[in-house]
Amino acid sequence: MTTVGRGSVFAIYLASVLPSYLGNEQSGGRLTETSARTEVLHGHEFSYLDTGAGPVVLFIHGLLGSRRNWGKLVETLRTDFRVLAPDLFGHGASAKPMGDYSLGAHAATLRDLLDRLGIEKATLVGHSLGGGIALQFCYLFPQRVERLVLVSSGGLGRSVSPLLRSATLPGAEWVLPLIASTWVRERAEALGRGLNRLGWRASADVSEAWNGFASLADADSRRAFLATARSVIDPGGQTVTAHDHLPLAVEIPTLIVWGTRDRVIPTWHATTAQQAIPGSRVELFEGAGHFPHLTEPSRFARLLSEFMSRS
């Protein structure tokens, strides 16, 4: 198939699923932006939230996400913990440079952030791509990890949604500007508002999928998205696995959280991870999709607080 042909397939597929991802709620909740900070790391501006006091929790968002994904949790947990919630390079308010967007590069950036802040160890909470980054961080810098929490994590198997696989097809760089154009976004938002007036409310998965799609409005964000996606996914699925290294995490208390209706990364990845990490704990959120921490934020906050106090 030619590049144009593959790009057309990507366009048709994305257009066909777009209506099911409409919604404009900020399901992550509001953040205390007065706690937002910026550091220059690797020569580029790196934006992050730093709030609260106590044991350090480092939240790592997923592909097309940002620190705002953790908003409700940050507001709850900051009373007992020091919470760091960065925008990874290529996401949110952080720079979107040309360069390396691999899991190892992201892990090294987070290590450098901890160094800059004088933090020796932290509990890592990684969602989706962020889970893969957290696993890579554990492999590279195990002495810096207090505990590990994997939420709908990448890096635990080949399976991933067809939508993300299609985004890695050749030609996606030409199709994305059309799909994410102002014209398409404005009409999709209008449709979402109309559905809201009829009483329809977006789920956490729908809201965050839309927020991620809307973040691709500029060329730098699209380029960074494709570079990040292609570093971990190909048309056949996920290309990076941590399974060979999971037994090394046995010394790190590990909590694995998944939604039973995750359509992005299947729930059975949680079971295989638990089998590979003796002593790890799995919590399934019944009925939740790919964002269990947003579907039931209060439950997730209690679970995390309990895990940190007992492990």
Residue 165 lies in a domain: yes
Tokens 């696995």 identify what position?
241
**% the chain with pLDDT above 70:** 75
Average pLDDT across the chain, whole number: 84
Residue 39 lies in a domain: yes
pLDDT of residue 89 exceeding 60, the answer is yes
Helix (H, G, I), strand (E, B) or coil at 44: strand
For residues 80-100, give the mean pLDDT.
97
Enzyme catalytic residues: 128, 262, 290
pLDDT of residue 9 exceeding 60, the answer is no
Helix (H, G, I), strand (E, B) or coil at 35: helix
Alpha-helix runs per DSSP H in the chain? 3-17, 71-77, 103-117, 129-140, 162-166, 172-179, 182-197, 204-214, 219-232, 268-276, 292-295, 297-310
User: How far is Cα 56 from Cα 124, in angstroms, rounded to an integer?
Assistant: 9
Residue 189 lies in a domain: yes
What per-residue confidence (pLDDT) applies to 180?
Answer: 61
Q: What is the pTM of this model?
A: 0.84
What per-residue confidence (pLDDT) applies to 132?
Answer: 97
User: How far is Cα 130 from Cα 147, in angstroms, rounded to an integer?
Assistant: 15
CATH of the domain at 93: 3.40.50.1820
Helix (H, G, I), strand (E, B) or coil at 178: helix
User: How far is Cα 31 from Cα 68, in angstroms, rounded to an integer?
Assistant: 7
What is the token pair recorded at 236? Answer: 């056949």
Residue 280 lies in a domain: no
Least confident of 53-67, 123-137, 159-173: 159-173
Residues 32-54 pLDDT 10s: 556 899 999 999 999 999 999 99
In which band, very low, low, confident or very high, does the pLDDT at 187 lie, cut at 50, 70 and 90?
low
Residues 217-272 pLDDT 10s: 788 999 999 999 999 999 999 999 888 877 766 689 999 999 999 999 999 999 99
What per-residue confidence (pLDDT) applies to 7?
Answer: 43
Residue 179 lies in a domain: yes
pLDDT of residue 21 exceeding 50, the answer is no
Residue 271 lies in a domain: no
Phi then psi dihedrals of residue 130, to 5 deg: -60, -30
pLDDT of residue 15 exceeding 50, the answer is no
The answer to whether residues 96 and 232 touch, using CB atoms and an 8 Å cutoff, is no
What is the token pair recorded at 13? Answer: 């597929």
Residue 250 lies in a domain: no
What per-residue confidence (pLDDT) applies to 201?
Answer: 55
Residue 197 lies in a domain: yes
Q: Which domain holds residue 93?
A: 1-139+160-239
How many domains does the structure of the chain reveal? 1
